[in-house]
Amino acid sequence: MSIKTITTTPFSDQKPGTSGLRKSVTVFQQPHYLENFVQSIFDSLEGVQGQTLVVGGDGRFYNRQAIQIILKMAAANGIGRILVGKGGIMSTPAASAVIRQYKAFGGIVLSASHNPGGPNGDFGIKYNITNGGPAPEKITNAIFAKSKTINSYKIFDTEDIDLDKLSVKRIGEMAVEVIDPVEPYARLMESLFDFASIRKLLQGNFKICIDSMHAVTGPYAQDIMEKRLGAPAGTVQNGVPLEDFGGGHPDPNLVYAHDLVEILFGDNAPDFGAASDGDGDRNMILGNNFFVTPSDSLAVLTANATLVPGYKDGLSGVARSMPTSAAVDRVAEKLGIDCYETPTGWKFFGNLLDADKATLCGEESFGTGSNHVREKDGLWAVLFWLNILAVTEKSVEEIVKDHWKTYGRNFYSRHDYEAVASEPANELMDRLRSMTGDLPGKQFGDYTVDYADDFSYTDPVDGSVSQKQGIRIGFTDGSRIVFRLSGTGTKGATLRVYLESYEPDASKHNVDTQVGLKPLIDLAEEIALIRQFTQREKPTVIT
């Protein structure tokens, strides 16, 4: 067993996006590709020698092989201890929880989140810092800079570690501790929620269906829902993590979680349904024949937070990503707490949570979380909803519609144009960017432009500035259209168009969302020429 120094050359495409480095599996399988990036991580971290790191992933194809490489490289780079999930499994929120509970230096999370898996699917890797959250841009920029100049990497020449047995092994001087990835997370959930009340709800006539989409939350949901909370066996569907997610697309939305949608909108539907994504940090919430938008979900959780033991003393503040609807803003105003608008990417919430400026955070992309970890957390959101349902004894639909009566309804939708050619997508954004100065005051039918800008964010904690975060066009009636290119795909570009219209009149709340937003949908096409630039007649996904 010896340390090898392998000569290598840089790859030009290892710049981390909003959630680390994501590429197709075949890209990561290139000789030296993963190793270069991992060495760049170790070379960028001051004081990491002798420290503890957490390693785990969502179980997708190449997860096990990548973990073995990381373990051997960590040992060669002087890491003191690695905590790795049994079977290489660890959900992203659980990894954050383990980093925090064990006071680890940081962690390496292997996931491409909601992207498809399998040999022809995607893979991803990101570094999380000591607070359990994704590395800030200062660190990801340093990793990218190292990746552009790397000429060698270090790795132990040794046998693989058995990841399927709880144990402590050594690679050289480094300890490798294979841990139960579920127990620390489940304990944390028990400390936040009223499990007794939820157990009583689930053991009564209230029926639920949880779809883990053959992704990482299967073992977590089975342990918490079926064992600890007593839901009937089979409540968790597709609960075995598979390397290709069973051939499905592990994105919990109305299109890709269609099996769950059919159940909740079918005959004799359960009272509650939920789905999580590939790495467990996203959630979709459904009631009987009722869909809850992620923006509304954040607002409802904020309005009802004091019903939940872990948040009974109230919230210090809330935060949402810029494209997320302003529904939570109205709740924050009524509660007298601050509401922060950040760029997309959970790392932007980290400083607010650490500084106790925010307690709950959310993104329209089916991500919600709180200060219990530093990632969004799918199962946490499900348990939060179940706790509210248990206390109020109302249905999902009743809770949301009562919320609208109090605060008004923010009609909201996101239209995704996936895998469009990058060049015309960037041309579309550049054209919009050039128009922002001329749009204010312009009339488009019944709409008058109030403001137009390319969103820029100054962090209220550390003063860092993030620019070019999306084109916002706001109208005098409170409506908005936002255009963004996503940083989470691996093929071409994904254009996201966000549409929002506020309706205070409760008598108008039962209109279909797409019907209610039709004037804004047409206006988005008129202003941005989406069909011309994307060569698409309609979005790939509407949520």
CA distance linking residue 122 with residue 135, whole number of Å: 21
DSSP characters for 319-386? EEETTS-THHHHHHHHHT-EEEEE-SSTHHHHHHHHTTS-SEEEETTTEEEETTSSS--HHHHHHHHH
- In this structure, the strands spanning 457-458 and 317-321 are unpaired
Measured in whole angstroms, how far is the alpha carbon of residue 408 from the centre of its chain? 27
Instruction: Please identify which of the residues 19, 44, 91, 113 carries the catalytic annotation.
Output: 113
Contact 182, 94 (CB under 8 A): yes
Please give the structure tokens belonging to residue 468: 């070019």
CA distance linking residue 310 with residue 97, whole number of Å: 15
Q: Closest Cα to residue 188, out of 285, 108, 106, 91?
A: 91
Contact 375, 93 (CB under 8 A): yes
**What 3-state class would DSSP assign to 144?**
helix
| Catalytic annotation present for 325 | no
CA distance linking residue 236 with residue 378, whole number of Å: 14
CA distance linking residue 237 with residue 218, whole number of Å: 8
Between the CA of residue 44 and those of 127, 456, 460, 465, what are the distances in Å?
11, 27, 25, 21
DSSP characters for 291-337? EE-HHHHHHHHHHTGGGSGGGTT--SEEEEETTS-THHHHHHHHHT-
Catalytic residues: 113
